[in-house]
Amino acid sequence: MPISRRAFLLGVPALAATACAGQPPLRVAVVWSGAELQRFLRVVDAYTAGSRRPVSVYSAGDNISALLRGPAENVIPDVAVIPRLGLLFDPLVSPRIQPRVGGHVQDAFWRGLVTPYEGGPELGAWFKLANKSLVWHRKGERHAPPNLTSWMPRPGTVAIGAADGWVLSDWFENVLLAYAPEVYDGLFTAATRGDPEWWARNEVAEALTVLALIWREAFTPDQGRRALTLQFHDSILDVFRYRGADVVAAPDFALPVIERYAGKDVARHFSFPGHAGGPPPLVAGGDVAVAMRGGGQDALDFVEWLTRPRGSDEHDALTEWVDEGGFLTLDREPSHPLLREPALALRGREGRRYDLSDRLIGRLEGGDGRGLWRVLTELFGDVAAGTTAPAGAAQAAREKIVTSLAKGSGR
What pLDDT digit, counting tens, does each position of 347-373 carry? 988 899 999 999 988 889 877 678 999
Percent of the chain with pLDDT strictly greater than 70: 92
CA distance 126 to 366: 20
Percent of the chain with pLDDT strictly greater than 90: 73
CA distance 99 to 292: 9
pLDDT at 3: 38
Q: Which of 368, 103, 146 is nearest to 275 (CA)?
A: 146
- Tally of residues, the chain: 411
Q: Which of 310, 316, 315, 340 is nearest to 328 (CA)?
A: 340
What pLDDT digit, counting tens, does each position of 149-205 carry? 999 999 999 999 999 999 999 999 999 999 999 999 999 876 666 678 899 999 999
pLDDT at 324 over 90: no
pLDDT at 409: 59
Higher per-residue confidence, 23 vs 98: 98
**CB atoms < 10 A from the CB of 146, how many?**
10
pLDDT at 122: 96
All structural domains of the chain:
5-130+285-353 (3.40.190.10), 131-282+358-409 (3.40.190.10)
pLDDT at 51 over 70: no
CA distance 286 to 135: 18
**Is the separation of the CB atoms in 309 and 294 below 8 Å?**
no
